Structure 1
């Protein structure tokens, strides 16, 4: 057993544990990326990060996306999955169309939407102009009040396919006998879904919510391509903040401190979700 486990543990230690330890080490120094670590500042980098209004706003933006992802993508993905689970013409085509955005690379999706959302000559503004409506003067991505919501719409388009796919897979585990028995007792389609299908889909929904939450906390690539964290830091996330501090301002000590804070936030949220939500599923499996 040790012979087979050791290579995996070695790779995990090399590519996960070691980078984390190095980031923690860097976070205690003022370092510009060159030379040895000699300017020890203790917890000053953490004080700078936690006292930075841009970082606190970035944390709020991540939490907003977490809440919106669950509040919007969950009912939308569940509704689409329930509809696609019924027999209809073109069912396979519809499933493919919904899932295609998820398999696209984030860079490709970001560049495409960046072009679509350009002010005046972009496709979105052109379509609005065709029906007599005007988009924001500075564009959907250039207006601080609308930029974050616009980014979330793109994220929903990109990742909704994963929710639909997981829910469809979960629906395959719902016994047909229960549905048929409910229909014989006079239950309508909506009652069957509400009383039988959705409760049995609970474990799948909770797993998807966990993946969505962690992904929202670590959000970087699409935001970086669409807005770079702007305008006026309206779409900054914790990941874009630390990349900006490191690559653009050469404040690698502050960037390392921000990365450690991001890691702690994600770890605490994951552990809390495991203890408060996912534990019930584990407990049911052990009992059964």
Structure 2
């Protein structure tokens, strides 16, 4: 055995001792079991029960006994309203990625520097995100009210007829997406502001000395530095779009004619409120699989380089 091999074997045998000496193993033994217990009780157990209930025609009372196999999933696949809900969810994903995030980045580039004025603007733009989703939905339902809201006042000012946008099949979901952009762009803006403040000022000054214009500095200096923040922001936007619920219920409750449902509001309306827990559980399983699939592929495709 060579001296190098002996040293490697010795160092390998010393690693457990070092771990024990610096407290890592002790910390893991103390902290990991409570975390695993909580994760199992509040995540894995409900998921397992939901997957089990999805194979039953069950109203939530008593023990499920009416086994229907994959019938709930077949009903979901053939339900036109579920197709509408999936399409609406994909629209929210698109709007979040191609409208909400660019708007947030634009505002972040304008107010990321630490000045008293910019601090005020940050607070103003971030306030909608702090506001509770239900409260935001109620506020905007008043804004869009064709009788007493701001929409009615604007229409009356121009002498036009009142327009009930939330009751219109063509425009209701556009109003919903407007509220979603208004509600969440401040969250992404703050992510970008934090990232922009970490960009080295000497690189920006060097680009200015070289004659770079403002847009060139943004494109070739600032955006490359904040690319990890943009990747994380996009992940939050996609996952958040899959979970939209609280804003829609006070605004439209899925109407008119079930045209503004997302996957979650569809689950709530056709599962919980109608006491069709087995059907709702099947929708929940589909949503969980979709979220996990998005997370895994996003991690492998976009975050792999970041981790490296």
Within the candidate set 290, 293, 301, 1:265 is matched to: 290
What's the secondary structure of 1:144's corresponding residue? Answer: coil
Q: In 2, Cα distance between the equivalents of 1:157 and 1:41?
A: 43
What's the secondary structure of 1:234's corresponding residue? Answer: coil
* Structure of larger gyration radius: 2
Q: Cα distance 1:132–1:195, how it changes in 2: closer, same or farther (>3 A)?
A: farther
Q: Does 1:30 align with 2:57?
A: yes
1:265-284 Cα offsets, whole Å, 9 max, x none, are 1111111111111112112x
What's the secondary structure of 1:145's corresponding residue? Answer: coil
What's the secondary structure of 1:120's corresponding residue? Answer: coil
Q: In 2, Cα distance between the equivalents of 1:166 and 1:79?
A: 12
- The Cα shift of 1:224 comes to 1.1
Superposition map of 1:1-288 within 5 A: 1-86=28-113, 90-134=117-161, 136=163, 139-283=164-308
Q: Cα distance 1:135–1:69, how it changes in 2: closer, same or farther (>3 A)?
A: farther
- The Cα shift of 1:7 comes to 0.5
Aligned residues: 281
Q: In 2, Cα distance between the equivalents of 1:146 and 1:38?
A: 43
What's the secondary structure of 1:68's corresponding residue? Answer: helix
- The Cα shift of 1:14 comes to 0.4
- The Cα shift of 1:57 comes to 1.2
Residue of structure 2 in register with 1:286 after alignment: none
Any gaps of 5 or more consecutive residues in structure 1?
A: 284-288
Q: In 1, Cα distance between the equivalents of 2:246 and 2:101?
A: 22
- The Cα shift of 1:160 comes to 0.8
Any gaps of 5 or more consecutive residues in structure 2?
A: 1-27
Q: In 2, Cα distance between the equivalents of 1:196 and 1:210?
A: 23
Q: In 2, Cα distance between the equivalents of 1:179 and 1:27?
A: 56
Q: In 2, Cα distance between the equivalents of 1:117 and 1:238?
A: 24
Q: In 2, Cα distance between the equivalents of 1:94 and 1:77?
A: 13
- The Cα shift of 1:129 comes to 3.1
- The Cα shift of 1:134 comes to 4.9
How big is the alpha-carbon RMSD for the aligned residues of Structure 1 and Structure 2?
A: 1.4
